[in-house]
Amino acid sequence: MKNRISSVTIVVLALVLLSGCSGSKSTTTKSKTGKDVSSGLTSQVSKTLGITESQTEAGLGAMMMLSKDKLSPDDFSKLTKDLPGGSDLISKATDLGVVPGSVSTTADILKVLNKLGISPVTAAKFVPTVLSAAKSLGGGAFGLLSKVF
């Protein structure tokens, strides 16, 4: 059983790395208001991957939890400013069942997404899709997320 889980994890991580090289172009409309950008990011990722906005918010919240642990407090503060609603995403993820402290690796984010009913193949595309969308937002969100992912 452990070997099977390890094999699945390796395959999923390989897909994540390969998907990150896809060079997909984002179509998010830039907005000056934080709420519009955040919901635009959620909407874009949901549409791109064919998952619900709640699943997307939980995944984004898990990414923010990991970012909070991996970035300096100053960098995390910058991330929440450049990715409006970032700190709210942690609360939304918690409300959707993501346990704070349970996300310490990218593989943990994939586990969260799997528990929410997202297939391993789609889950493997989640982080690269979010990074692509963050890049289209401008500001420093993409650079800060790239430090973590």
Q: pLDDT for 32-49, tens place per residue?
A: 334 444 567 888 899 999
pLDDT, tens only, 124-149: 999 999 999 988 877 788 999 999 99
Q: Which residue has the higher pLDDT, 78 or 19?
A: 78
- Report CA torsion sign: 98, 104, 109, 110: negative
Which whole number is the average pLDDT over 2-23? 43
Q: Residue 24 domain-assigned?
A: no
pLDDT for position 20: 41
pLDDT reported for residue 24: 34
Residue 21 lies in a domain: no
Number of residues written out for the chain = 149
2 pLDDT above the threshold of 90: no
pLDDT of residue 81: 86
Top pLDDT among 2 and 105 is at: 105
- For residue 27, being part of any structural domain is answered with no
Degrees (nearest 5) of the Cα angle 10, 5, 92?
Answer: 85
Task: Please indicate, yes or no, if residue 26 is contained in any of the structural domains.
Answer: no
Give the per-residue pLDDT at 100: 87
Q: Does residue 28 sit within a domain? A: no
Domain assignment of residue 47, yes or no = yes
Is 77 part of a structural domain of the chain? yes
Q: Which two tokens stand for residue 113?
A: 């997404």
Q: Tell me the average pLDDT of the chain.
A: 79
Q: Dump pLDDT digits (tens) for 79-96.
A: 998 876 777 899 999 999
Q: What local confidence, expressed as pLDDT, does residue 83 receive?
A: 78
Q: How far apart are the first and last CA of the chain?
A: 28
What range does the domain containing 121 cover? 2-16+33-148
Determine, yes or no, domain membership for 124. Answer: yes
* Count of the separate structural domains present in the chain: 1
| The two structure tokens encoding residue 132 | 């692509």
Cut 0.85: pTM above it: no
